[in-house]
Amino acid sequence: MRVARTLLIVVLLTGFAGGGLAYADARGDARAQVDFGIKAAQADLWREAIFRWQKAVEIDPTYAAAFNDLAIGYEHEGMPDKARQAYEKALKLDADNDYIRQNYEMFKEVHARATGTHP
């Protein structure tokens, strides 16, 4: 009985560790896509950057920084509705992130000036 119980605990812990590794792998894969997207944007390949950042948020839909970068890409390519959605998702995931908040506030200000609307 004691051996069976110990075996069950080991199996459960292994299962939890595997889940944690899967999450870590997803974040690492998403981070690789984000990094590739940043390099593409720096090379002025914005469509490629957006593609990579879209992949990153598909791989890890909890990655606020990836949504922030995606929003910047959308903003750069003249897609303000998509940019706003991506910024809002980033802030929903990481409401205390000053960097994301500043980017979103700047986006709203620029967009308001360009369209003659209020942010």
From residue 64, alpha-carbon distances to 30, 70, 93, 95, 98 in Å are 11, 10, 6, 9, 12
pTM: 0.78
CA 76 to CA 101: how far, in whole Å? 17
> What distance in Å separates the CA atoms of residue 20 and residue 39, rounded to the nearest whole number?
29
CATH code at 25? Answer: 1.25.40.10
* pLDDT tens, per residue, the chain with 119 residues: 544 443 333 333 333 334 455 566 889 999 999 999 999 999 999 999 999 999 999 999 999 999 999 999 999 999 999 999 999 999 999 999 999 999 999 999 999 998 887 65
Q: CA 21, 16, 91, 47: dihedral to nearest 10 degrees?
A: 30
- Owning domain of residue 101: 2-115
> What is the domain count for the chain?
1
